Amino acid sequence: MTTFSLFDKSSKFDGIYAFFIVNRFQMLYLFFLMPTYLLHPFMIWGIVAMAIFSQLNIRLLCKWLESNYAKKGYQGFVELFGVRMVRLLTFIGLILILIKITVITLGYLEVIHDFIFPAMNSNWIIFFILLTSSYVASLGMKNTIRFVVIVFLCVFWMIFLYYPFFIPPIAALHDLYPLIPTNWTTDSWKGLLLIWASYSGPEYLICLIPWIKPQQKMRKYLTYANALSTSEYLLLFIASLFFFGSNYLSKSKYPIIHMIRYLQSPLFERLDIILISLHMFLLVFAISIFLLCIYGATRIILKKTSTQPSRMGFAVTCIMLFLCFVIVNNWIWSIETEQNILLNIQIWLSGITYFIVPTFLLLLTKLKGRVKA
């Protein structure tokens, strides 16, 4: 029987893979909701401001990635925190990843159900998505990381389809006024929080440290990824303002997808179905990465890091994740008020972890260095 090697560390990846991973993680489900939350044209400056703060956060994260603790992988965390604290932090991280991947999966599920398969039982959609993700994850972390290149090539070009919304007669400059806020409400603060949560994703590189070249300078690649995500946020939000106007953006939950339905092609009648289907590559990739992280975190918590990964343990993890998705989908996500609560929890947790993780790791590393000195 062949060895089931999920976490083989024989291959190290260049910074270009970190660029692909961070950019696509920043373009997960939340960007679909961004125009509905932002509404006002002056929130363009909110995207720019959060991009700057995100870049500062990336700078802190990159400094830690260049430290000796980061280069040692799991052993570096043990030296930094101790075995017990590593297990505790891993448990907390496991909960955060479960919440994130559940909200993202069920959010995409709602899009698929509404626009492609309205008559299909949503649990079957979950089953097929997770089955595909489980297969990709079973190929190991190395191959899953390589898969991000295919994901990027399948998805990135979609942004260019929105160019018709920037030309007359759809585009009107007055739709971008006012660019200076005349009033600031609680909804505006919520919009800033959503933007910040959308920028989260780079912090998950700490889970992929063993597969990243230790001498590779990450800062420029993550800077490019952050800049590309910012460009996509701005283009999609401005296109939404041109098409709907700020007064009508709140009437549509997924304005970015509804806009595509108005585009006509001589070859394809329903471009939205094609684009949503291709976007599933990104969902499969995200679930595959997080599935491996969940299985790896479980092994750390159960003190199984010295043993070989087993097919049975991986299968049990997949089954438990499937049951988690189904339970939340049927008893929480199907109720609008409960769905909003879960979504807000995810937004808050993403914003908090993205802010805290790089700063906390770097400060503790600096403190450890002084203590040793």
**Confidence band, pLDDT 50/70/90 cuts, at residue 168:** confident
Cβ-contact 141, 288 below 8 angstroms: no
pLDDT tens readout for residues 199-210: 999 999 998 888
Q: Are 195 and 50 a contacting pair, CB within 8 Å?
A: yes
| 221, pLDDT greater than 70 | yes
What would the two tokens of residue 97 be? 């990843």
Which two structure tokens, joined as six digits, stand for 354?
């993205």
Helices 141-155 and 122-138 meet at what angle, rounded to 10?
120
Is residue 152 pLDDT above 80, yes or no? yes
Which residue(s) pair with 212 in the sheet?
13
Instruction: Specify the pLDDT at position 370.
Output: 58
For residue 258, give the nearest of 50, 33, 84, 93 by alpha carbon: 33
Most confident range, picked from 239-248, 296-305, 344-353: 344-353
Neighbours of 219 (CB within 10 A): 16
Lowest mean pLDDT among 165-169, 214-218, 301-305: 214-218
**Structure-derived torsion over alpha carbons of residues 320, 325, 328, 334, reported in degrees to the nearest 10:** -160
Each residue's pLDDT tens digit, 77-105: 888 888 899 999 999 999 999 999 999 99
User: Which of 172-186, 260-274, 334-348 has the highest average model confidence (pLDDT)?
Assistant: 334-348
**Which of 9-13, 240-244, 286-290 is predicted least confidently?**
9-13
Report whether pLDDT(1) > 60. no
Q: Higher pLDDT residue, 170 or 51? A: 51
Q: Stretch 205-222: mean pLDDT, rounded? A: 83
What phi and psi values does residue 302 have, to the nearest 5 degrees? -90, 10
Q: What is the average pLDDT across 41-56?
A: 93
| Overall average pLDDT of the 58-65 stretch | 90
- What are the phi and psi torsion angles at 212 (to 5°)? -110, 135
Q: What is the dihedral of CA 291, 293, 295, 296, to 10 degrees?
A: 160
Q: Are 89 and 81 in contact (CB under 8 A)?
A: yes
Nearest to 328 by CA among 309, 316, 311, 345: 345
Higher-confidence position of 14 and 126: 126
In the chain, the percentage of residues whose pLDDT exceeds 90 is 48
Q: What's the distance, Cα to Cα, between the start and end of the chain in Å?
A: 49
Which of 364, 373, 370 minimizes the C-alpha distance to 76?
Answer: 364
* Residues in the chain, overall count: 373
Q: Tell me the pLDDT of the chain averaged across its residues.
A: 88
Residue in the block written with tokens 């969902």 = 283
**Alpha helix ranges (H) inside 169-270:** 186-198, 219-244, 255-260
pTM above 0.85, yes or no: yes
